[in-house]
Structure 1
Amino acid sequence: MPGPSECCLRGFEWDGTPIGKEAKLADNNAYITGSNSKIAIMVIADLFGWNTRLLSDHYAKEADATVYLPDFFGGEVIDSEILAEKGPSAFDLKSWVGRNGPEMRWPEILSHDPPLVNCVSTAHPTWLSKEYIDDIGVPVQIVAPEHDETFTPELKKYANDVIPTKGLPYDYQYFSGVSHAFATRGNPKDVKERRAMVRAKNAQVSWMKEWLHGEAIW
């Protein structure tokens, strides 16, 4: 099984052309899509940065929201074609983490007191800690693959033991047979991975509609 650097730097892109626009959100460039002035979703991307634009378009349309996808990585974009050709060794992950890891970027994201979000959905989280789990205070959804070197079996168990004790709505979605990054960078040519990507997207849209609009999809 590949190590954390390999699992993070592997993947495929969705087909299509983004329909949103680029603008500023605070001091960061951002991709913005959708037109609902009352409902907003912030997408915090993985290390491929704000290339998750097509998925953001899905959220905006299907959850009826304006979606903000900030560039929290200072304009750095990982070239997926070079990675596909040369492999993870073509990218200095350690240096990237030093520039863009939680210690550097979390202050730009944090909104805690008063809470400024109504709900959270996270797919195959990286750098999730027990402290973050302990601090959850809004409805939360976790989309978890079977194989994940970062969201380990220990952390999965801790989340499933602790979060239900908080008296908060909690949705744990388990996807067998797929690995870390499947929800954003699975292989659309692989039937199993594509189905998992679509199922994950549908689950997240349903969760966001439930807690942002009060409309569950049944």
Structure 2
Amino acid sequence: MSKIMIVEDEAVIRQLISEELQKWQFETFGTTDFHAVFDDFQSQAPQLVLLDINLPVYDGFYWCQKIREVSKVPIIFISSRNTNMDMIMAMNMGGDDFVTKPFELDVLVAKINALLRRSYNYVEGSQETFAHNGLILNVDNSSVEINGELVDLSKNEYRLLYILMKNHGKILSREKLLRALWDDERFVDDNTLTVNINRLRRKIEQAGVHNYIETKVGQGYIVP
């Protein structure tokens, strides 16, 4: 049974989410001490975190950054703030998805299930290694090596690189990448893909490999 940690200061919303998730056989833990979000995370060891942005004491971006210092656990931001800048900040801080309030509970459950599948199941039993133009991606242990240096990627960045390397030489449309990353792209802001592509490119360039992912205007992306 997967445990979901709910970091939401509005008690009614926290309770509604918790009750819905329990119907789907999830174990839930709702934070009530907003000075101790990180302590709760460490003591509860959840498989996924639902994280509001507007919180007492420190905001969700701060807590996401703290969690990312020690863990790659999936994080879904839930917030009434819905500007592109908020979504970009959420992704840049290490969030895996973003849900805007008000939202349908069944959509949230679908996103949680999809993210849990991607995060814990999609590399099971595989023992593949992809090597191309200085990058080595080991599917067995989810590691990426660039010019002999291990590079830390988020789950979305790793999945994106995996798909592009596996299909190198082929142009992949934005729609195909969205479906591969988020299962149902209808619930994902298109800007989320751009943020993840740009962040992945930056990390690859910082490791010394330039122009690894090319944009084909009007068509998509390619690792040539």
- For this structure pair, what is the TM-score category when the shorter chain's length is used for normalisation? 0.3 to 0.5
Pick the structure with greater CA Rg. Answer: 2
TM-score normalized by the length of structure 2:
0.34
Length-normalised TM-score, structure 1: 0.35
